[in-house]
Amino acid sequence: MIGWFADGQASRENAETFVDANSAETLPEALRAQAIDDVRRSNREAWLGWLERGSREDWAAAVGQLALPALIIAGTEDGDLGEDAQRRLNLPHYANARMRVVQGAAHLIPYEQPRALAALIREHAALATAAALPEDFARLLDSDRVSGGTRAAMLDRIYPMPVGTALWDDADHATVAALVARILPDCGADRALAGRILDSVAQGVGDGWRFAELPDDRAAWSRGLATLDTATGGFVALADPDQDGWLDRIAGGTVGIEEDATRLSPVQMRLWFEDVRAETVRIWMAQPATMAAIGYDGFAVGGDGPRKQGYTRTGADDPEAWQRPSQERGA
């Protein structure tokens, strides 16, 4: 393949070889001709740069893990860069990625299965749109009133965390989602919020203190969830009123398991559930969508410049110009 561009451009025969070898089946003639012409129009320096240098570089450590939601697509007939290779080399670099495999395609999916590809892109775009922030809030977040560090942290909170860690399994996520629905009824059983709560506990980035009667947060949550499931016979499966009844009893200090190192006593369960409520609300309030919904803009008090803008007007019902909606400002 390096030799194909020795004279500056690939021959038609070599371009045909490339297209046919990377297609699951021979493309319709019009598409095949277009693909062949695309190969022949390739820039020689780019072609050689990838084969001789780019394909041999390992950027795994520098890339790390990206927060941006990703859709990774592979063809079932793509031998070198198919599903196995994508799961091994690409998927680990995204905290929130979905893997999709297209039947009847090799390496040229846009040519081979354009309708399937378009459907997958539409589905992925719909998820991104669902996570989009209101226009005015997004504009403020992108303004010079917000530091780069603050902006990055808030954007990282928009998309759901990956499900499953060494500490928590899918059953734990389901139980915490059910707790979210009882603590914040308008949120429902929000699995994304549950994932962030459990990730916060796993990472040890909570509110910085704990009840003396409880073990560290990771152990307390593991034991608390186990106690809740044991005492209720399966919390997630209960009807909403029954879940509320159990949580009222836990808050009253009457539910727990004594003298068991893997469970929490009634006193500990009461304190743990207080912690659960606080952590749930803390993580929920930290979400940009929540801030936008309640009109909170306290993060926009100073960017990266030497002068921090802060506030100049602090009276009730007296917003500053930058706090008013764009239509009110005449934008």
Do residues 265 and 180 share a domain? yes
Q: Tell me what pLDDT residue 315 has.
A: 87
The DSSP 8-state label assigned to residue 210 in this structure reads -
Do residues 65 and 47 share a domain? no
User: Which pTM was predicted?
Assistant: 0.65
Residue identified by tokens 């319709």 is: 28
Do residues 171 and 271 share a domain? yes
How many domains, in total, are found in the chain?
Answer: 4
Q: Tell me what pLDDT residue 16 has.
A: 97
Do residues 276 and 201 share a domain? yes
| Neighbour-count burial for 211-222, b at 16+ CB within 10 Å, e otherwise | eeebbebbebbb
Residue identified by tokens 């994508």 is: 86
Tally of CA atoms within 13 A in the half-sphere of 280 that contains its CB = 24
Spatial CA neighbour of 181 closest among 109, 236, 144: 236
Q: Where in the sequence is the domain holding 70, given as residue range(s)?
A: 60-130
Which residues of the chain are under the pLDDT cut of 70? Answer: 128-131, 159-166, 326-331
Q: Tell me what pLDDT residue 77 has.
A: 96
Do residues 272 and 178 share a domain? yes
Residue identified by tokens 């021979």 is: 26
How many whole angstroms separate alpha carbon 162 and alpha carbon 168?
11
Do residues 41 and 81 share a domain? no
Tokens at 58, concatenated: 């390992």
How many whole angstroms separate alpha carbon 260 and alpha carbon 138?
49
How many whole angstroms separate alpha carbon 151 and alpha carbon 130?
19
Beta strands in the chain (DSSP E): 70-75, 97-102
Instruction: Look at the alpha carbons of 195, 196, 202, 208 in this order and tell me if their dihedral is positive or negative.
Output: negative
Tokens at 94, concatenated: 């995204």
Do residues 217 and 295 share a domain? no
The DSSP 8-state label assigned to residue 97 in this structure reads E
Do residues 24 and 77 share a domain? no
How many whole angstroms separate alpha carbon 173 and alpha carbon 180?
10
Boundary of a domain, candidates 286, 306, 321: 286
How many whole angstroms separate alpha carbon 155 and alpha carbon 188?
23
**Model confidence pLDDT, tens digit, residues 177-236:** 999 999 999 989 888 899 889 988 988 877 788 899 999 999 999 999 999 999 999 999
Beta strands in 78-117 (DSSP E): 97-102
Cβ-contact 140, 295 below 8 angstroms: no
Do residues 69 and 125 share a domain? yes
How many whole angstroms separate alpha carbon 79 and alpha carbon 83?
9
Do residues 271 and 179 share a domain? yes
Do residues 69 and 80 share a domain? yes
Do residues 211 and 270 share a domain? yes
